[in-house]
Structure 1
Amino acid sequence: MRAVIGRQFGGIDDLSLEDVPSPTLEAGTVRISVRAAGVSFANLLFIAGQHQNRPSLPFIPGTEVAGTVTEIAPDAATTLRIGDRVCAGLPSGGFAEEAIVDAANVFKIPDSLSFAGATLFPTIYATAFAGLAWRANLKPGETLLVHGAAGASGLAAVEIGRALGARVIATAGGERKTAVAADYGAHHVIDYKRDDFRKSVLEITDGRGADVVFDPVGGDVFDNSLRCIAPLGRLLPIGFASGRIPQIPANIILVKNLTVIGLYWGFYMAWGKSKADAVLRAKVKTLFEELFALHEAGKLRAPVDRTLPLPQFADALRRVERREVIGKIVLAPTDRE
């Protein structure tokens, strides 16, 4: 099979497209013919060896795939069947024509959902839902502030927040991106390139601030979010696309009675563990059922910027690196160029 291979940690130019042996089916797993593989900022950290999920060498990037089931291990506890259309989350191995995935992390997708759109569910929508509904306990009528609202994670948070009944304030850079955030349901949109989002949030909320902040950016954005979050607010640091991991001043947390909530989705998918917690597995299964129901109801649109063939993986990664992507950019491994 063809796969994108990294034989050392570094940058995009350190990757190559190679013909390699198909991966071996292991106990409790299924084989997927990969029709679509999501590309994300986390892939850049993974390639550099800077992600919390650090692989051994050599490695294949990619944590979110969609395709068809072609083989199932005899001991796999699953209702999946050969030929099922599925999406899956995996710690690595997605940028390839085939992937071997723990059966518990493979989910049958609705017929209405394209393979490309399905790549947003295993980590992007799942993280947004788990963060906002499970961890932050976002309630109807509360104010949610979403940063990076034109990227895949941000747009997912906008849609999930709206579906949970929150008033959504979104920040994005430039007219094109702010227009997209508004189109996907944000009640208020702030162009951070033009306006001071801290000041704007306080004006929109009559000085109170946001109840929940969803932050995939980090850096100065995180720092300023602490200045426009409401008392008893909850702040979710989802990622650090700015490149700087912020330090949290405990005095602000104390004075405003804030809760800073961590969320690593790989914990719920049992990445890096030999055996997953059965209660968490059941909870994750229910989460995906809820997400697919929201999609069927038209509340999750699964925005795909474009789909590129696997040999153009470097172009896809560079588009993410330059922050040009609206929603998700996807590779199509089994569509040969």
Structure 2
Amino acid sequence: MSEARKVWRTQKAGAISNLKLVDESVGPLSGEHIRIAVKSVGLNFADIFALTGLYSATPQGSFIPGLEFAGVVTALGDSTQTDLQVGDRVYGCTRFGGYATVVDVPPQHCRKIPEHWSFAEGASFPAQSLTAYYALATLAAIKPGQVVLIQSAAGGVGLQAMRMAAQMGAIPIGTVSSESKRAFLAEQGFAEVIVRGDDFAEQLHTQLNGRPLQAVLDGIGGKIQKQSFAALAPTGRLIVFGAAEFTPGNKPNWLKAAWLYLQRPRYDVMDMISSNKSVLAFNLIWLWQEQALFEELLDGCAALDLPAPFVGREFPFAQAHEALALLRSGTSVGKVVLNVT
């Protein structure tokens, strides 16, 4: 008798309300994969954009969202080459398909969860850590003593980037949307935090106090991004990994999206030559096509020996819609996670 699993599946992208919890059978395990009994699933803004059809990598037709998970290894494929064993607690990544109680993945996409971490903390680590580490270490090439501005610093990626930048010896300045989020970051040990106001450019100028700004990590877009780029010192780099200003409700508001698109920042390469500043952008999904780099980055994240990720809210697996609503509200701090009981 075939194994069964529960999954959150949408028959087509376009509206979050299309996402339904269904029972499915689990097919035979590929020889090169391992099978994971999922205990926790990490949520990301990419899930929202995929479900609403605003993500370029969204699969055609029916799909299961989700990029990261944590659980227990239950089986190894016949030809799998790995040090992992049945019973190991692991976190891992998958190119969609994470909202499931059972997943089959290549073992290279998994790492053992540190003994003192929970499954929820493990599921919070891979996607946000890969995003932050690739942005800081590879694209920004941050060095000790350099100042880096990190937008949405109380969110999953932002908080991890703040921690990583500090661990690398850089000086992180975070930005947040509310005083409560600034207070949260203060509790996490970060003193340099800007609550974004109407005159963000002046706020940033005051916070820098003459220090050169070498890098900006931005997942917001719009006016804030443009002002941040203007504040960069020569050789500075703007790293763009998202556009939260486009975050939709249940389905896209195409008129609003078109207006935001027309108003988006534009950068002239001739101006960048004169100012000696750069714009770099990336999509985390691309890493799945670069296996060697993917493994290198996963190992680099683990080598930083960071504390367990901060999990802001945990929901039962059956409450994916409630969890997604909190994430897209912009009020959450840390990571939002689904737990399988």
Matched, 1:52 2:56: yes
Q: Contact (CA 8 Å) 2:130, 2:298: kept in 1 or not?
A: no
Deviations 1:59-101 (A, max 9, x none): 1111110000111111122111001000011111111110111
Where does residue 283 of structure 1 map in the other structure?
296
Task: Give distance in 1, aligned partners of 2:213 and 2:93.
Answer: 31
Identity of aligned residues (%): 31
Where does residue 100 of structure 2 map in the other structure?
96
Task: Give distance in 1, aligned partners of 2:109 and 2:272.
Answer: 36
Q: Contact (CA 8 Å) 1:53, 1:91: kept in 2 or not?
A: no
TM-score in terms of structure 2 length? 0.89
Where does residue 316 of structure 1 map in the other structure?
323
SS at match of 2:58: coil
Where does residue 314 of structure 2 map in the other structure?
307
Matched, 1:38 2:57: no
Where does residue 206 of structure 2 map in the other structure?
203
Structure 2 counterpart of 1:248, one-letter code: R
Q: Contact (CA 8 Å) 2:43, 2:337: kept in 1 or not?
A: yes
Where does residue 248 of structure 1 map in the other structure?
266
Count of residue correspondences: 321
* Unmatched segments (≥5 aa) in structure 2: 247-259
Q: Contact (CA 8 Å) 1:169, 1:201: kept in 2 or not?
A: no
Q: Contact (CA 8 Å) 2:129, 2:160: kept in 1 or not?
A: yes
Task: Give distance in 1, aligned partners of 2:97 and 2:240.
Answer: 26
Structure 2 counterpart of 1:120, one-letter code: S
Instruction: Map residues 133-282 of structure 1 onto 2, 5 A cutoff.
Output: 133-192=137-196, 194=197, 196-207=199-210, 209-243=212-246, 244=260, 246-250=264-268, 251-270=270-289, 276-277=290-291, 279-282=292-295
Counterpart among 117, 128, 136 of residue 113 in structure 1: 117
SS at match of 2:141: coil
Q: Contact (CA 8 Å) 2:216, 2:228: kept in 1 or not?
A: yes
Task: Give distance in 2, aligned partners of 1:204 and 1:305.
Answer: 27
Task: Give distance in 1, aligned partners of 2:166 and 2:191.
Answer: 9
Instruction: Map residues 289-300 of structure 1 onto 2, 5 A cutoff.
Output: 289-291=302-304, 294-295=305-306, 300=307
Deviations 1:152-206 (A, max 9, x none): 11111111111111111111011111112233343411111x3633212222323
Compared with structure 1, are the counterparts of its residues 103 and 61 closer, same or farther at alpha carbon in structure 2 (3 Å cutoff)? Answer: same
Shifted more, 24-33 versus 313-322: the winner is 24-33
Structure 1 counterpart of 2:48, one-letter code: L
Matched, 1:126 2:138: no
SS at match of 1:242: helix
SS at match of 1:211: strand
Q: Contact (CA 8 Å) 1:158, 1:184: kept in 2 or not?
A: no
Shift of 1:122: 1.4
* Unmatched segments (≥5 aa) in structure 1: 271-275
Counterpart among 1, 14, 33 of residue 18 in structure 2: 14
Where does residue 252 of structure 2 map in the other structure?
none
Q: Contact (CA 8 Å) 2:216, 2:229: kept in 1 or not?
A: no
Task: Give distance in 2, aligned partners of 1:156 and 1:281.
Answer: 18
Q: Contact (CA 8 Å) 2:67, 2:96: kept in 1 or not?
A: yes
Task: Give distance in 1, aligned partners of 2:190 and 2:205.
Answer: 16
Deviations 1:17-61 (A, max 9, x none): 111112442242111111000112110011112223221321111
Deviations 1:278-322 (A, max 9, x none): x4255235324314xx23xxxx34010121111110000000111
Task: Give distance in 1, aligned partners of 2:80 and 2:49.
Answer: 32
SS at match of 2:166: helix
Deviations 1:100-120 (A, max 9, x none): 112210111111111111122
Where does residue 273 of structure 1 map in the other structure?
none
Shift of 1:210: 1.6
SS at match of 2:161: helix
Q: Contact (CA 8 Å) 1:62, 1:93: kept in 2 or not?
A: yes
SS at match of 1:20: strand
Q: Contact (CA 8 Å) 1:11, 1:44: kept in 2 or not?
A: no
Compared with structure 1, are the counterparts of its residues 184 and 56 closer, same or farther at alpha carbon in structure 2 (3 Å cutoff)? Answer: same
Shift of 1:10: 1.8
Deviations 1:213-260 (A, max 9, x none): 011111222111112111110111011111156443215423321122
Compared with structure 1, are the counterparts of its residues 57 and 26 closer, same or farther at alpha carbon in structure 2 (3 Å cutoff)? Answer: farther
Where does residue 87 of structure 2 map in the other structure?
83
Counterpart among 300, 318, 337 of residue 330 in structure 1: 337
